[in-house]
Structure 1
Amino acid sequence: MKVQGLELEIMGLLFLFVISMFVRTGEAESKTFLINCGSNASVNVDGRRWLGDSAPQTNFTVSSGIVASDSSFNGDLAYASLYRTARLFTQSLNYTFKGATGNYFLRLHFYPISFPAYNANESLFSVVANGLKLVSEFNVAGEISAKRSHSESSGSNSSAVLIKEYFLTVNAADFVIEFFPAKGSSGFVNAIEIVPVVDTLFVDLVNKVGGNGAKSSLDLSKRGIETMYRLNVGGSDIKASQDELQRMWGVDSGYMLTANAGAEIKNRSSVTYASDNQTLAAPLLVYETARSMSNTQVLEKMFNMSWKFEVDPGFDYLIRLHFCELEFGKANQRIFRIYINNQTSADHFDVFVRAGGKNKAYYQDYFDVVSPKISTLWIQLGPDPGTGASVTDALLNGLEIFKLSKNGNLASTETFGLKEGNKASRSRILWAGIGAGIASIAILAVLVMLIFSFSKRWRSERADAKNSSPGWRLFFLCGAITNGTDKEKGYLGIQNPVGFTATTRVGRWFTLAEIKAATNCFDDNLVIGIGGFGKVYKGKMEDGTRVAIKRANPQSEQGLAEFEAEIEMLSRLRHRHLVSLIGFCEEQNEMILVYEYMENGTLRSHLFGGKLQPLSWKQRLEICIGAARGLHYLHTGSERGIIHRDVKTTNILLDENFVAKISDFGLSKAGPALEHTHVSTAVKGSFGYLDPEYFRRQQLTEKSDVYSFGVVLFEVVCARSVINPSLPRDEINLAEWAMICQRQGSLGNIIDPQLQGQYSPESLKKFAGIAEKCLADEGKSRPTMGEVLWHLEYVLQLHEAWLHANAGENSSCSNHMLQVNGTPDEGKAEEVQQAARAVENTGSSLKMNDGE
């Protein structure tokens, strides 16, 4: 009897559950509104029935408007019947939906159709939903144009349709959507879609960007949400019919800084949700594809996958990132960092751990406040090298960006302050624009006349100068001036900010005939190097001086900025460890620089890839010290300092005595002013040497040169290229591979075999420690070039002490005398080592100040 009673109780509970499900389903269906605007007929699209708003209805009403139709729609045929009709309006238009309390996705569909006397492309209107302003003075054609640019670059098949999506909480009995045309304009809408959503789709407590794990309360029940972007990362478009909530997911490649920075990967087994409350976050299709950095050879794995989005400034944003580990079946295999708008949002991010296993769908939300001065939002994922993960990699499956309302407004701040119908204001703006245009044309005409007059006079003076003085000449740069004495002496005058002219002998203005004579008419047999600027020739001037002549590619118009930057930098730089500029030529559209000739070529040519005699450990140390001195001078030799931006072994040249000199200043930038910490600039440099922090934030500092120099140090000790795709995956990137070996204490296994037995183990240990510090992920953790220089000199001191100690052991002298710096002294090696240890303990050790 007890068993029978239990069975009846279970059956009763099941019955109640089934009944509640039917009730829920009925409620959901009763609250779904699909409106085919401008039509009296219902249409079926993707299995859903859209009601014509002109037909009699019981659960919604429409106030006014003009019914319009057009058969020219050429997009998705399934939606043709929906977008061939629209409701136009020249005065306010209201849609009122009855009994719509709850949470909803509101989607407004726009397709500019042709209709007599109305130009949909010039429509301008505002939309308000239950008091929340959605758009203000909104132009559909402009938004579609911006959308198309991304669609075309990403290969998406999107048509000229715009869908604005919002998430709203409706507390009133009725849901009212109001359309207001601007004064003298009109508006239109093709379809309205209202879909009920469970209240767990968004939560109030979200991780704050840059908040070190702190959470912010978003108070979403009182705010509206607009979907700005929804992307299926690494996959194709996902149609509304493939998503339970009828969301559409676009392709991400059009928003990537470098589209090939992440390789597309797919799942190898079925994907499931990590928990029941995440089932509606995204369809499983999103989690079955991803982008991963592991197999790409376009960018080094030390750098990030980056997406850039245009957003409305001054709003709060919710960023949702979707993850699913598709490759690794255990923890600590793929650990990475997440950056949002150049702030660390998460580190030590292990998808396997957070989701609870492989092929588990999981998402993470972040909250960010975008400044009123910023109109872009960056999302970047990159490796977290300090975690000891098996691969330096990152992964992302999908992303969504939502804008949160501010003071009852979701409209762009650029248009929110405009008063509708303010015809007088618009008139004043129009006439002000016309006046400014006329004034601009007049000023431009005067400038053209002045430039023409100046150019004619300059050409005449230059011709006279050629006929009278074939030797030293003047090269005009920004603000350059000379007096008669300067011109006779062949000096370049640079006018400084306080008004006087500082003269510096920067070199000779060569004629093209002289350059051709020196290079045998640019004979390819004299080419000693080829770079982005052009070819470098070995030349011999008429007086017997050997020179290196860098000629820009005459077929390209690129390089003028680098040409001028090189002259400008070298005109005010003089140092034993910087290559000297002898002169230049700009005749007949040529751009040619003439340098002192460096007998022993590039440092790289002596490390690998050639048949030159290998460098000893002492020579390598002295070369590194020389290069460090040159860079230290750049960073500290002027008020703001100079950042080289392209430090690498091919830009470190060696003279006949193997003295190192830094070359190629075409990418150099003046350092930040005293009140700034960095220079904001586009990323330039050479892969393999680029500072990942600079790449990630586009913020250049002197520590960017320090990072590149750290790569050079490992290149010097390992004698291999910094990027070698033919090696196993973990060894492709030298900096990454060397850092792994350094931390495992196995660097000795990958050093240049030519060095075996020729170096002091203690000096190698200290040398590798310096390189490791230079490659710290954050610039503030890296040493300055001055500190690097100090420690390299200490390393040389250790090595010389070791050499002398070995020489003493092999000496036949009975008293084991040792020659140090030309002075014989017993036990000198031990004294040198003791002195070096004493210096090391003074506080300038490799434990660098994190605040630097």
Structure 2
Amino acid sequence: MEDQPLILLLLLVFFSSYQLPSSAYTLPDKYFINCGSNIDINITSRTYVGDMNSGHVSFTKENSYVVDNNPASNTPPALYQTARIFRKKSSYNFKIDSNGSYLVRLHFFGLSNLPTSVFNISAAGFVLLHNFTVQNSDKTAVIKEFILSIPIGEFSIHLVPQGSSFAFVNAIELFPAPPDFINDEHSDDHKGRLSPAFHTIHRINVGGPTLTPENDTLLRTWLPDDPYLYNVHTAINKQDLSAQPNYMAPVNKFIAPAPVYMTAKEMNIDTSRQSNNFNVTWSYDVTRNARHLVRVHFCDIVSSSLSNFQFLLYIDNYLSPEINPYQATGLLATPFYVDFVVVSDDSGFMNISIGPDSRSLVKTAFLNGVEIMEMMGESDFVKSKQKSVFIIVVPVVLGVGGLVLVCIFGGLLFIILRSKKLKSIETPEWLPLTAYKGSTHSNRKKSQQSTRSREGTINASPVPDLNLGLKIPFFEIQLATSNFDTKLLIGKGGFGDVYRGTLRTGIKVAVKRSKPGSGQGLPEFQTEIMVLSRIRHLHLVSLIGYCDEMSEMILVYEFMEKGTLREHLYNSELPCLSWKQRLEICIGAARGLNYLHRGATGGIIHRDVKSTNILLDENFVAKVADFGLSRSGPPDQSHVSTDVKGTFGYLDPDYFRTQQLTEKSDVYSFGVVLLEVLCARPAIDPTLPMDQVNLAEWGMLYKKKGLLEQILDPSIKPQINPNSLRKFADIAEKCLEEDAADRPTMSDVAWDLEYALQLQQTAVVQESHEDSTTNVSGMLLPFIQRLPSMTAQFQSDDTSIIREDDSCSLLSTGEVFSQLKIDDAR
């Protein structure tokens, strides 16, 4: 477990939704240093003072400076024509007047008369750059930006040459950041847990052009997003240059300049497509296995009017809280931002995606800007071997006057309650994305090809007639299962793993997930959806929904609290089922199968009836499950199948021999289940002697010899009424007839099982000479089956769409026997 890469830690960092805007802040004059020079240079309204002239800055004496000697035609910008060079460990020293966060920018430009160098830079106890070298083949400056927490006093930037090399720097910027620029002080739970040092990796103007320091309030550079976009066809540029964005607290022009919020990327919706269920994804290179502060900027310039509009944001394909522009701002064209702390994996890439929310009236998504900053150093919040997830929703609250105060307290209350609730969502690990997202990249080209292929599979459902009303977004399933936490794993099968989960509506579910990206099991996946979306019955497991996003195949069912029938019969620590419970379970399963055969439109053959596909709810009500192998068609019509499917031990030998599939194949399999219930052993047990390996053959051999009692489950032997036992054995024997034509229908099986239960429940102790199930059966069953009203009543009850009670409902049986006036079933 420990060698798996850390994948994701999502934390919405607490920002003050009740702070005053930083309108009082102005860009300070110091420190802007032109290194290696005695000349002051004015750039973008800032004066970069020559380090030889500054009275507030000192640097180590053992140094030299260099001036570029290129011809005039190739002369670099004035700020980069000189540099300060250090041959030994040296430092720049600054006087700090106030505590707080400071922006530190270091400018490097490889002059033509400087050889390549390797050096380290450290400050405030952090190594800012390690084995750093400058390759200026394209003759552009390299600017490294950091945000450091600095106390009052002397602050030093140390430059340390490596080996026989040297260190150099062309320019330095050091000035206080705006108030609350990065702030976690408003969370009691997480106060002070953010790193005091950040290294800016990316600053992206999504949907817009390059923004240079001349366009930015803090002299930052914002790059366009197109080089990072996976598939350029999934998004379009949007811009609104007609008006300035509506800055409202806590967002101001220093968080991001107006041009960032006046442009955006929006989903490229194609109205001619049946489905526009895709994500727009960007991939950014980041530091491996490191914490990053990710700031995403939003400003709705894509909507023409206010509407009920929310969309989804993913980081490395893990869901963040939904983005709702109007819950955050209440106004059009009003900026807001959200911060996350993300632990990267060892791929060296981080994916950020936006996509539509199926619950939103407007099916689109947009993004205005992205900033990614590596959080330097180790803190108590993240341990190298701990992989926990905290998601804390913090809305941006806006308003004026008294409304602000109301929103403040409401927002704080929401934060407290929400954070306490969601802190419990902790998992020991996030599953590696490489298992199903293809997010480990050897290079960007490979990742782009992978994503284009992947996105091509999620624009529509795998087959056109899947029930789109049952689709559940992948992020909802992640939330329901705590991102497929192994602690919630409740089973494994041929299709995939099964997890326990709880939807946000509070509904408990079972989530069956195919091996991600394998493509195996697609026909079964489609069949299951098509079958279960058409039918509802008390004794059939209900399909809550499915997910087919991003090569996933996930089925979501109602949760069956007591698990499978098999788990309660053998090889389990679960309490033993009584004989009465077993009869009721068999009756329920028979009713469910009868509905499939006769009640469902067109008729459905299950094809994989077995004890693991009969599930039990909290009241031990049986429900048939797993319809991946099902076939539809008229119940009396045979299907020729060259691909015989089923489970060994339950497979109908007549079907296997003739390849003629009918509903009687399900009847045979159910007969094997009846013997499992009776004997509490597997259908096939290779550890037993040869004549006992196959339960159907062994059970029928003992039945014909009159020795059935010798192979009963010892735990129920004292409970069984002999009449009930004999009737039950007769039913199993009929189901297991070699010739399919000789087997009963599931309607007959259900009816006979009801009778076996009634025999079990008889309150009269019969005399020994009366104890004859054969005689009772011979007298009563032909008479009962000739009553048309009885058969009609059973069919009507059995084919009801939904039954309100959760019991096995023996009312119809009681009514039948009361009408027959058979006292105590005699």
Could you say which TM-score interval applies, normalised by the shorter chain? 0.3 to 0.5
TM-score of the aligned structures, taking structure 2 as reference length: 0.47
Between structures 1 and 2, the one with greater helix share: 1
The answer to which structure, 1 or 2, has the higher relative contact order (CA under 8 A, 6+ apart) is: 2
